[in-house]
Amino acid sequence: MSDVSNQNKGPIARFLAAPPDSVGKTVFIAVSLCLVASMIVSAVSVALRPMQEQNKLKDKQANVLQVAGLYEDGMDVIEGFSVFEPQVLELATGTFTDQFDPATFDDRAAAADPELSARLTDDPAGIGRQAKFVTVYLLRNNDGSLDKVILPIHGYGLWSTLYGFIALEENGNDIFGLQFYDHGETPGLGAEIDNPRWKALWNGKRLSDDDGTLQITVAKAAPPAGAEHHVDALAGATLTSVGVDNLVRFWMGEAGFAPFLENLKAGEI
């Protein structure tokens, strides 16, 4: 009798009349909960995105300060970063361009933009495409002369692309520091590239020999060129170390910053 009366009701009335633990009501509650939860997560994610972007930018700026030896705990990063002169560099010519605003130029977006980048055929750093323009940071002495240049570098390690900076003295050959601010290598193994003791090994090394030949290497054994061009590979993380070797040599070479470093040595910057 009740089956007959239920059949006469509409679907909504039948749903409402069903017991709370019926399959229909259980599925309805589960789906509703999922929908509400996903809407809350999406809303929070959208609302926090500007803050995340701001924090990412601040982290990058803190890393530029660190690689230049200017970072202090608790410092105002934005104010500290203002000592740098950002410039957008055209890699092929090694000269600055005013085609883009260095404050807003996005190196990673440029590397993915077919207009602003090129696919690499010879790709030891494993980056696929290379932007034609990158943002570099100049640090000047009080008299306006150049103190250091901070150059962005990136390339593949073992599990991830490593993004970082190399700081060079004004002669464009002596390394002041190197550090990565974004990578996904294994903690305790490849991620030891962040270890201050390993990073300190870079200070005072030289990119090229007196003939201008690029000699810097990251390897287990020193190259014939000598210790001044050699950084010890990380123990237990040879593959990440090989990645660092490849990417540093790529970016300091002809396809990278070599034209800029030539201009620097010639006093044209």
Ligand X SMILES: Cc1cc2nc3c(=O)[nH]c(=O)nc-3n(C[C@H](O)[C@H](O)[C@H](O)COP(=O)(O)O)c2cc1C
Our finding on whether 70 is near ligand X (CB under 6 A) is no
Touching ligand X, residues 188-207 (CB under 6 A)? 189-190
Q: How many residues bind ligand X (CB under 6 A)?
A: 12
63 binds ligand X (CB under 6 A): no
Of the candidate residues 201, 222, 225, 239, the single one contacting ligand X (CB under 6 A): 239
Give the nearer residue to ligand X in terms of CB position, either 49 or 220: 220
- Give the residue with the Cβ less far from ligand X, 43 or 235: 235
Residue 170 binds ligand X (CB under 6 A): no
Tell whether residue 240 is a contact of ligand X (CB under 6 A).
yes
Q: Pick from 71, 256, 100, 68: which is nearest to 175 by CA?
A: 68
**Is residue 184 a contact point for ligand X (CB under 6 A)?**
no
- Of 87-95, 145-153, 183-191, 251-259: span binding ligand X (CB under 6 A): 183-191
Q: Which member of 237, 244, 255, 264 binds ligand X (CB under 6 A)?
A: 237
Tell which one of 158, 162, 244, 258 touches ligand X (CB under 6 A).
158
217-219 vs 230-232, strand pairing mode: parallel
Q: Does 97 bind ligand X (CB under 6 A)?
A: no
CB of 243 vs ligand X, minimal distance in Å: 8
Which amino acid type is present at position 199? Answer: K
What are the residues whose beta carbons fall under 8 Å from the beta carbon of 15, sequence distance 6 or more?
24, 25, 28
Q: Where along the sequence are the contacts to ligand X (CB under 6 A)?
A: 158-159, 185-186, 189-190, 235-240
